[in-house]
Amino acid sequence: MLSNLAVGKCRYGLMCSENGFLMDDGVVARIDEDTWLCHTTTGGADRIHAHMEDWLQCEWWDWKVYVTNVTEQLAQIAVVGPDARKVLEKLGGMDVSKQALPFMQWADGVLGGIAVRIYRISFSGELSYEIAVDAGQGQALWDKLQEAGAEFGVMPYGTEALHVLRAEKGFIMIGDETDGTVIPQDLNLHWAISKKKADFLGKRAQERSHMTDPNRWRLVGLETLDGSVLPDGAYAVAEGHNANGQRNVQGRVTSTYYSPTLDKGIAMGLVLHGPERMGEVIDFPGTDGKVYKARIVDPVFFDKDGEKQNV
Amino acid sequence: MSNALSALGGAKFDGLVKVADAGLQGMITLRGNLADATLQQAVKAATGQAVPDQRAMVLQGDTGVAWMSPDELLLFVPYAQAHACVASLRTALAGTHHIVENVSDARAFITLSGADGLVREVLAKVVPVDMDPQQMPAGQMRRTKLAQVAAAIWMQGTGEARVVCFRSVGTYAFDVLCTVAAPGSAVGFFAS
């Protein structure tokens, strides 16, 4: 629920389609009494903006709500890692201590001479500041961060590194753990679904029989017995064959990476009765002729209590 | 603000017409009830202009206003004043249902200049708009597609057009316009 989010704070939220399927996720910030800023998946901004306009124009035309897509106005730079705070303190101008700017809050200010809005939000589970600045000054802020961060070994990181970091934390990614057929409940995200709201898009759909079927495949972590990396998209086979003579299946890999932190392959997947089968080993035949044996484990491989992002 | 960069970094091209980065321009999205007197006064105070009719716009120097939709205007203000102008608009419109956002940096802004017929022709090659002077006089803005991206276009005057698109596709739009303005590619459809 975002109506009770206090001004200055942030909250993670899910967005579902009318049919209950998970279509996007992101962090929402309460800017003032009447204004919320909704982060979407990067490539999803146009689609989600259109989705909001569609509902506001066609169904809820009497609501007094306007939306504006401000994605292109802002350059947003994530400064992440145990030394992130030191880099920001070196630029100076804002109190970025845990007390002044705790996890899941935001603040406006001037950092290193540039007007910014800083969000204490994290995609990777580390101490993280996402700094939003007018796009025309994105390069200037980037250059200042590189310079101030040099003594701490700062380096740019791309989306592949981000994918690995979030997978170590068991954070889902729209487009990996979701494919248009997945509902939040499949991903054990019941905690993010409001029980207080009288209604929301997808609520009725999620109560339908096929959506509450305990046989829906659900999210688990997968750990190969030999430490190898599971092939992406591989299916877990079950006993017997189907009508086409193919092996029956009981799950599939949704994300799979080599984790440099843990020095082994880690993966997430959707598995039949998965969360009830912790410790069980299942087979994933690869297209390379090898049968990968993987143990069903908790999807959070690293920093289970989330202490690293809350410092 | 001295370190702010425009999306196109001062790019220029000289072909059938001149294609150039129009530089930093303050732009503000304002949504609300366009018939509301408080909103009309706020627009006047910010731009000196009345709320324009459907599809109409005015831009004098770096100040003006354009009609975007039945509940949305685009306000043009000097770049350095955009944030302050947003704050004044929010104060003026407090208690009136509205949204105001600075979108100056969300945009790439391009000028086409040269012979009027060729400026119209270059645009006509990549936008599904009738660029005939009778159909597309100065003071009318079209929100349309420029090749593969969304854009707004208008004739600023005889022999001068402006294009606004999103920042992230600014280079694409600029390059497309340079391609269709390549020397030797004139069709001569419109009288110059």
CATH at residue B141: 3.30.1360.120
Q: Is residue B4 part of a domain?
A: no
Residue at a domain's end among A109, A139, A165? A165
Q: Is residue B86 part of a domain?
A: yes
The confidence score (pLDDT) of residue A32 equals 95
Residue at a domain's end among A130, A165, A200? A165
Q: State mean pLDDT over A32-50.
A: 93
Residue at a domain's end among B56, B72, B105? B105
- The alpha carbon of residue B72 is apart from the nearest alpha carbon of chain A, in Å, by 10
Out of A64, A71, A137, closest to residue B3 by CB: A137
Show the domain range for A293. Answer: 170-297
Show the domain range for B32. Answer: 26-105
| B30 and B99 part of one domain | yes
The confidence score (pLDDT) of residue B4 equals 87
| A88 and A131 part of one domain | yes
Least confident of A22-26, A167-171, A306-310: A306-310
- The alpha carbon of residue B29 is apart from the nearest alpha carbon of chain A, in Å, by 8
Q: Do B166 and A72 touch (CB under 8 A)?
A: yes
**pLDDT for B1 beyond 90:** no
Confidence of residue A42 (pLDDT cuts 50, 70, 90): confident
The confidence score (pLDDT) of residue B2 equals 54
Out of B6, B29, B97, closest to residue A136 by CB: B6
Q: Is residue A25 part of a domain?
A: no
**pLDDT for B61 beyond 60:** yes
Using CA atoms, how far apart are residues A116 and A109, in angstroms rounded to an integer? 6
The confidence score (pLDDT) of residue A311 equals 84
| Closest by CA position to B60, among listed B157, B140, B158, B144 | B157
The confidence score (pLDDT) of residue A256 equals 97
Three-point CA angle A232, A234, A236, nearest 5°:
145
Residue B32: which CATH number?
Answer: 3.30.70.1520
ipTM of the complex: 0.93
| A142 and A182 part of one domain | no
Q: Which of B68, B167, B169, B172 to mutate to test the interface with A (most CBs of A within 10 A)?
A: B167
Contact residues, chain A to chain B, C-beta under 8 Å: 64, 66-68, 70-74, 114-115, 134-137, 139-140
Using CA atoms, how far apart are residues B192 and B189, in angstroms rounded to an integer? 9
- The alpha carbon of residue B105 is apart from the nearest alpha carbon of chain A, in Å, by 5
The confidence score (pLDDT) of residue B154 equals 98
| A149 and A187 part of one domain | no
Q: State mean pLDDT over B111-117.
A: 98
3-state secondary structure of A61: coil
| B128 and B176 part of one domain | yes
| Closest by CA position to B47, among listed B38, B60, B32, B31 | B60
Q: Do B168 and A72 touch (CB under 8 A)?
A: yes
Domains in chain B, number: 2
Q: Is residue B81 part of a domain?
A: yes
Domains in chain A, number: 2
| B40 and B100 part of one domain | yes
Q: Do B101 and A71 touch (CB under 8 A)?
A: no
Q: State mean pLDDT over A120-136.
A: 93
**pLDDT for B187 beyond 60:** yes
**pLDDT for A44 beyond 60:** yes
The confidence score (pLDDT) of residue B62 equals 96
**pLDDT for A204 beyond 80:** yes
Confidence of residue B9 (pLDDT cuts 50, 70, 90): very high
Using CA atoms, how far apart are residues B100 and A54, in angstroms rounded to an integer? 20
- The alpha carbon of residue A81 is apart from the nearest alpha carbon of chain B, in Å, by 27
Q: Is residue A44 part of a domain?
A: no
Q: State mean pLDDT over B20-26.
A: 97
| A271 and A233 part of one domain | yes
Other beta carbons within 10 angstroms of residue B54's beta carbon come to 9
